[in-house]
Each structure stands twice: as C-alpha cells, then as structure tokens.
Amino acid sequence: MKTYRIPHTDLDVSCLGYGCLKLGGSWDRAPLGRAERARAAHVIATALDQGITLFDHADIYTYGKSEAVFGEVLQQLPGVRDTIVLQSKCGIRFQDDPQPGDPPRYDFSSHHILHAVEGSLRRLHTSHLDVLLLHRPDPLVEPEEVAQAFTELQRSGKVRYFGVSNHTAAQIALLQRYLDQPLVINQVELNLLHAHLITDGIGANQAGVPHTAAGGTLDYCRVHDIMIQAWAPVAGGTLIDPPPGAEARVRTTAERVAEWANDKATSREAVVLAWLLRHPARIQPIVGTTTPDRLVASCLADRLELSREEWYALLVTARGASLP
Ligand SMILES: NC(=O)c1ccc[n+]([C@@H]2O[C@H](COP(=O)([O-])OP(=O)(O)OC[C@H]3O[C@@H](n4cnc5c(N)ncnc54)[C@H](OP(=O)(O)O)[C@@H]3O)[C@@H](O)[C@H]2O)c1
C-alpha cells in the first residue's frame, strides 16, 4: 500500500488507516466476550495483511474495550508492535466519571491527559503511543496545561508525537502557540456527504452560500504541514448502501459509486475512498469497518486513481447542487 510520511515525524504510514472504534463491541462495561475477541483478531490480521500500518484508537471507545481487545491481539503477534503506528486520543469524559452525577464533558487538563494516557498504555500493552490526539476541542482549554502534559509525556517516552481531532484552524493555532511539540495530525469527519472542509472555500466569495466555522481549516493544515485524517470516510456505509428514506443526493451518489465500481472492476468502498485520496492534501482515510471482506474491498482504493473530471462529478452529485 502507498505510504505517507507524517510531517514533522519519522513515521511512514499506509495511506489508509484502520479505525478501531468498534473492535470492543457494545458501548457498555460488559466484559469482552469470545465473539469480540475472535472478530478483532480476524479484522486486525486482515488489516495487517492488506498493508495497513496505522491503527487509530481512543481511550473512550467502547469504554476502553476496543483498546483492550487490540492489546490482547497484539500480545499474540510478537514483533508486530514495532511495525505499526499506534495512535490514541483523549480528552472526552463520560457521565459519572469519576463521581456519580458528573456530566459528560471535555477535559484537557494536564492531570486528565496524563491519566488517560496511562490507561491507554495499560490496555494496549505498549510502552508508548506513537501519536496522541486531543479528541474534541475543549472550550475550557488552558493551553499551558496541555503543554505541560505533552512535555511530560514526551520526556518520559510515553508519547512520541501529538495532534488534534475535530479542531478548527484557530483552535490549532491557539494550542500551537503554547506547545514545544508540533501538532502533526488533525483528524476530522470527512467524506463525500460531509465535505464542507473541502468545499467551504469554493463558495467563499459567493453570496448566499453558507459557510461553517471550520472554513479554512484544511488550507491551514496544508500550510502548516499537519496531516489530515478522515474519520467516517464511507459515511458509516451510507455511501455504499443508503438507508431507506435517504435524500435524493445520497441515493444518486451511491448509484454513481456503484456504477463506477462496476465499470472499473473495483469495489464501491474503493470509489468512495479514492475520492478522498485524490485530494492533494494527502488525506488519510481512517476506515472503520469490522467486516474483513469490506476492509479488503476498501483497500482496493490504493490502486484506484480518479481523474479531475471524475472527482468533480462525484462532488457535484454529492452536493446535490451545481458549482457556483
Ligand atoms: N475523531 C473522532 O471524533 C472520530 C469519530 C468517529 C470515528 N473516528 C475514527 O474513525 C474510524 C472510522 O469511523 P467510522 O466507523 O464512522 O467510519 P466508516 O468507515 O465510514 O464506517 C464504518 C462503519 O460503517 C458500517 N458499514 C455499513 N455498511 C458498510 C459498507 N458497505 N462498507 C463499509 N462500512 C459499512 C461498518 O459496519 P461493519 O463494521 O459491520 O462493517 C462500520 O460500522 C473509527 O473507527 C474511529 O477510529 C473518529
């Protein structure tokens, strides 16, 4: 599989990453069962076999079970840890954590970041994370606290590189002003149906075209060499199998995707992911299926190159409106 160098690092990663969110099964505190263990082992083996080298986690995924089952599988695969890039996230806290009645919240305090990383290292059975991302912007962030935590984590060798997720350009700039380490990744929701990070700029000078607060974020990341990772790259399957009652633009896009997959003798997943890979920002889709066949189908994207004309044709279909 093609690789990208994560800017400001010595890490080369496959152009598709694997998202481990659903490996732990249900979102509850029930213990891991045999079925989750077997499914995780199968899909992780498939990912490795397909040449995927970046694995994305978060401390909260299925209440820690996703990291835990991944850690178990890793222990059964001696030598693999050193061949992969392990990434996790922190900063989201659940209701009742730690006291009953505590609200769901974000927490970028130094204490919480350090505590969360300890938990991830323990569950993943690893001495270090290659990359740590701050999961969602915390409006109460005190960047000095983040700086303190990052410096301590780097000094102790527990985290090599740092990044963010779901952050705007201004939020990244604020943090970066206080950090000694470069922010190397911004992981954002990005797919054909949720493409405003890519499309905001198109209508920037157009009356009546709505913009989002994220406008300029993609360009900012390119200017500052921050790698963009795309979460929900196939929109949770909506672009492959639209649910009943999906809007017309979704159905039409899925039809076009299916038609091209057929014409190009590839998979529908590959067409959808190739749309992200065609962007010159070198976007890394984080694929989240737990179905090995779908993962193999997704990896065909590595061999599919869309032309400028095809990229725009899909964009206009998915927008459901012509370009200005
Ligand atoms: N930073 C953040 O805030 C954030 C938020 C969400 C996710 N993430 C990361 O991004 C990763 C990917 O997110 P995602 O799971 O939403 O991405 P996705 O790859 O767009 O969607 C995968 C999900 O869609 C389902 N699906 C249904 N039909 C499918 C089809 N034909 N092909 C492929 N998948 C189909 C899969 O089910 P099956 O498993 O049954 O195949 C799976 O639940 C996560 O694992 C996580 O690591 C990050």
Question: CA–CA separation, 163 vs 181, rounded Å?
Answer: 9
- Does ligand 1 come within 6 angstroms of the Cβ of 289? yes
How many angstroms is it from 145 CA to the middle of ligand 1? 32
- The residue whose C-alpha atom lies closest to atom 13 belonging to ligand 1 is 232
- Does ligand 1 come within 6 angstroms of the Cβ of 196? no
| pLDDT at residue 207, rounded to an integer | 77
| pLDDT at residue 265, rounded to an integer | 98
> Diameter of the chain by CA atoms?
58
The one-digit pLDDT tens for each residue of the chain (324 residues) are: 999 999 999 999 999 999 999 999 999 999 999 999 999 999 999 999 999 999 999 999 999 999 999 999 999 999 999 999 999 999 999 999 999 999 999 999 999 999 999 999 999 999 999 999 999 999 999 999 999 999 999 999 999 999 999 999 999 999 999 999 999 999 999 999 999 999 988 888 887 776 777 779 999 999 999 999 999 999 999 999 999 999 999 999 999 999 999 999 999 999 999 999 999 999 999 999 999 999 999 999 999 999 999 999 999 999 998 998
Q: Is 285 helix (H, G, I), strand (E, B) or coil?
A: strand
- Does ligand 1 come within 6 angstroms of the Cβ of 241? yes
Question: CA–CA separation, 273 vs 269, rounded Å?
Answer: 6
As beta bridge partners, residue 191 has 194
How many angstroms is it from 192 CA to the middle of ligand 1? 14
Q: What are phi and psi of 141, to 5 degrees?
A: -60, 135
| pLDDT at residue 307, rounded to an integer | 98
- Does ligand 1 come within 6 angstroms of the Cβ of 19? yes
- Does ligand 1 come within 6 angstroms of the Cβ of 161? no
Catalytic residue of the set 4, 18, 61, 220? 61
| pLDDT at residue 141, rounded to an integer | 98
As beta bridge partners, residue 287 has 18
Catalytic (active site) residue 61? yes
Q: Is 57 helix (H, G, I), strand (E, B) or coil?
A: coil
| pLDDT at residue 205, rounded to an integer | 80
In ligand 1, which atom is closest to the CA atom of 234?
Answer: 20
Contacts (Cβ under 8 Å, ≥6 apart) of 284: 4, 13, 15, 16, 17, 54, 227, 228, 229, 230
If one residue of 266, 290, 291, 293 were mutated to test the ligand 1 pocket, choosing by the most ligand atoms within 8 A of its CB, it would be 291
| pLDDT at residue 215, rounded to an integer | 79
How many angstroms is it from 290 CA to the middle of ligand 1? 8
8 Å CB contact between 267 and 302: no
If one residue of 294, 295, 298, 300 were mutated to test the ligand 1 pocket, choosing by the most ligand atoms within 8 A of its CB, it would be 294
| pLDDT at residue 246, rounded to an integer | 95
Question: Taking phi first (over 0 means left), then psi (-120 to 50 degrees means alpha), and beta for anything else, what does residue 225 get?
Answer: left
Structure tokens at 301: 């994207």
If one residue of 23, 289, 290, 298 were mutated to test the ligand 1 pocket, choosing by the most ligand atoms within 8 A of its CB, it would be 289
